[in-house]
Structure 1
Amino acid sequence: MNVSNKIGVLLVNQGTPDSPSVPHVRKYLREFLMDERVIDLPFLKRWPLVNLLIAPFRAPKSAKLYQQVWTNEGSPLKVYGYRSAQLLQDSLGKDYVVKLAMRYQNPSVAQALAELKKAGVTELVIVPLYPQYASATTGSVYQKFMELLQDWPVVPPLRLVPQFWEHPQFVQAFAKIGRKHLQQQNYDHVVFTYHGLPERQLHKDEPFKSCTEANCQHTLHAGNQNCYRAQCYATSRAIALQLGIAEENYTVCFQSRLGKEPWLQPYTEDVVQQLAARGIKNVLAFAPSFVADCLETTIEVGVEYKELFEEHGGEHWQLAESLNDDATWISCLHALVQPHPSTADALKAA
């Protein structure tokens, strides 16, 4: 490599308020939910829904929850993001410049790109930190990045890293965490819970009109390879295979729905109650759509579903922590940024 060349690496996660205060949470919610890929309604319908209904009423409740996860260093999502970026920088070396950005709020994508430009990078690698592809997540990052890049007089060579749920080291990282918990406790059942999406956002540009028609629950193929639900089920199968968990001993479900329209099912809250009703006493829960612990993992999965499970007769609900700054996860990021023949072969075989 020419010593004058530097590759800029941008790690992009969802985002977090600047503080757990109500004004900052409201500001975050407004930016997040006004994204046309998140709430895919026309602007004139989306604006009053977000700014007059959702953000004003949801912000105080969400602020209380953020206060529960906030640390002395700040939001866990951002704290682990900075740690991962620094560890990846150390792993990649001086020919790379690694920056963290949040799709919503700070550090912004615009700010991170400006820092990379100032550092004189000659290439760019964009890594949305979403294991499974969705228009509202990875697609939104791509769109924002392309909008900002239009202002660059010289657009450098770039590479957009797609979904990485199938990467061997991603699967191994979650399996390692799960194996630790399985060695400490006997579990009757395992739950894989993923962030939800409205049903209408799936299969928009694919040959199949529904996940039932595409058989997304059981197989991933050319016709549904970009379907979020299909990728979630495939992620669960891959982790379960590593851990030796039989199909009948785990359930895939979806959390965090908003509004009354149909979202991806089964809903996690329903699954939690059904498992308890079946006499299941001990559950290990994974949240493999998140690479860092945050409100949706620590509070929603780790606390709220635990309380729901116990209310309905369950005895032990354990959240398997996210990847955070795990060494295997950092190795996965390194391989995604700097692919080499063995990694490429592994991806083809996955």
Structure 2
Amino acid sequence: MNYQGKKGVLLVQLGTPDAPTTPEVRKYLTEFLMDGRVMDIPVLGRNLLVKGIIVPKRAAQSAETYKTIWHGEHGSPLMHYSQLQKELLQQALGEEYHVELAMRYQNPSIASALKKLEGMLLESLTVIPLFPQYASATSGSVIEKVMEIVRSWQYIPKISFVSSFCEDDLMIEAYAENGMKHDVNSFDHILFSYHGLPVRQLGKVDPSGSLKCPDFGCTGCKKERNPYCYLSQCYATSRAIAKRIGITEERYTVCFQSRLGKTPWIQPYTSDTLHELANKGVKRLLVFSPAFVSDCIETLDEIQVEYANEFKELGGEEVVMVESLNDNPKWIQSLKRLVLSN
């Protein structure tokens, strides 16, 4: 087959273990946490912390959790939906394009996906890290890895990176559409729960060189002030979805989950927010998780099980999780437009 003249597209997700077993989870966690953009501390300390403490302590427990979300022939939900997105985007773009999927950690690796694309003598390559909000630990890590590999190619095509799409209107419509499957007005409060980051990582992309909002007062921050600030992008996404589903600012809270270790992470923490809302008598919560475009362990377990149980223990009655974008047709159209516009 003659590939010359084709335009390449590389979709990159975070990653997933190859199987819900302790050895495979250990491999995944080690690769993930040893990334200097994820755990941005000196490599010696990172080695001691990751390989000596975190992974031995968490691998078996995480494997048990992965078993609860693994689905028969589909296996990992993240892999299943990512493959669907790749296939549907390929159909939407047509034969002029060739779409590949990679995981930043584990399989299919970025190196293996780029190996397939290298010999095609592509006209262009568009790389889309599947994270709506830019963070050095996610999109930044993907972009760095792609550049590290491609620099050795003999023929390098025009390459475009989509580093952020936090307010893409078709993506926002897709999130809103999924939310409106529920009776939004029947809930006492709505949460927009994002993956957390250490506060120090925000400071590293502050043009002034130091974090200027230690109180996390970004509710009104416009991302134009600092286009690479993960926090302001999270608020931008939340405002856009809230506007689309017709809820006012007092009806929702932006919060952050999945913190690790004792260092300060972005606040308010989702767990603390659950406590505050329960103390105010809130009984029913609707939760969006717009940092994720595919359902995964963070949405299917951390929110739907762990936080839901915690909220009920505090006196709440129900936590309803809005499904991720998965194979929503508007999301596929959003991806198509991101490719065409880049």
* 1:243 is aligned to 2:245: yes
List runs of 5+ in structure 1 lacking aligned partners.
341-350
Deviation at 1:221, TM superposition (A): 4.4
The 8 Å contact of residues 206 and 223 in structure 1, kept in 2 or not, is answered as no
The 8 Å contact of residues 17 and 24 in structure 1, kept in 2 or not, is answered as yes
In the alignment, which residue of structure 1 is the partner of 2:338? 336
CA distance in 2, matches of 1:212, 1:117: 43
In the alignment, which residue of structure 2 is the partner of 1:195? 195
In the alignment, which residue of structure 1 is the partner of 2:107? 106
In the alignment, which residue of structure 1 is the partner of 2:303? 301
The 8 Å contact of residues 211 and 217 in structure 1, kept in 2 or not, is answered as no
The 8 Å contact of residues 223 and 233 in structure 2, kept in 1 or not, is answered as no
CA distance in 1, matches of 2:17, 2:245: 36
CA offsets 1:18-46 (integer angstroms, 9 cap, x no match)? 00000000000000000000000011111
In the alignment, which residue of structure 2 is the partner of 1:173? 174
Deviation at 1:210, TM superposition (A): 2.5
Deviation at 1:215, TM superposition (A): 4.9
- Letter of the aligned partner of 1:303 in structure 2? V
CA distance in 1, matches of 2:121, 2:23: 36
Which SS does the other structure have where 1:303 is aligned? helix
The 8 Å contact of residues 196 and 256 in structure 1, kept in 2 or not, is answered as yes
Which SS does the other structure have where 2:9 is aligned? strand
In the alignment, which residue of structure 1 is the partner of 2:277? 275
Deviation at 1:224, TM superposition (A): 2.1
The 8 Å contact of residues 223 and 236 in structure 2, kept in 1 or not, is answered as no
The normalised TM-score by structure 1 is: 0.93
In the alignment, which residue of structure 2 is the partner of 1:131? 132
Deviation at 1:98, TM superposition (A): 0.4
Shifted more, 111-120 versus 48-57: the winner is 111-120
Deviation at 1:118, TM superposition (A): 3.3
- Letter of the aligned partner of 1:131 in structure 2? P
Deviation at 1:135, TM superposition (A): 0.3
The 8 Å contact of residues 118 and 153 in structure 2, kept in 1 or not, is answered as no
CA offsets 1:36-95 (integer angstroms, 9 cap, x no match)? 000000111111110111111110110011001111221110110001000000000001
Cα root mean square deviation, aligned: 1.6
Which SS does the other structure have where 2:191 is aligned? strand
CA distance in 1, matches of 2:84, 2:49: 36
The 8 Å contact of residues 3 and 95 in structure 1, kept in 2 or not, is answered as no
- Letter of the aligned partner of 2:168 in structure 1? H
- Letter of the aligned partner of 1:279 in structure 2? G
The normalised TM-score by structure 2 is: 0.96
For residues 64-75 of structure 1, the aligned pairs below 5 Å read 64-72=64-72, 73-75=74-76
- Letter of the aligned partner of 2:271 in structure 1? E
CA offsets 1:254-297 (integer angstroms, 9 cap, x no match)? 00000001000000011112111110011100000000000000
- Letter of the aligned partner of 1:196 in structure 2? G
Deviation at 1:4, TM superposition (A): 4.3
Which SS does the other structure have where 1:263 is aligned? coil
For residues 69-218 of structure 1, the aligned pairs below 5 Å read 69-72=69-72, 73-182=74-183, 186-208=186-208, 209-212=210-213, 215-218=217-220
Aligned residues: 338
The 8 Å contact of residues 97 and 121 in structure 1, kept in 2 or not, is answered as no
Deviation at 1:211, TM superposition (A): 5.0
For residues 256-271 of structure 1, the aligned pairs below 5 Å read 256-271=258-273
CA distance in 2, matches of 1:335, 1:234: 20
Which SS does the other structure have where 1:218 is aligned? coil
In the alignment, which residue of structure 2 is the partner of 1:343? none
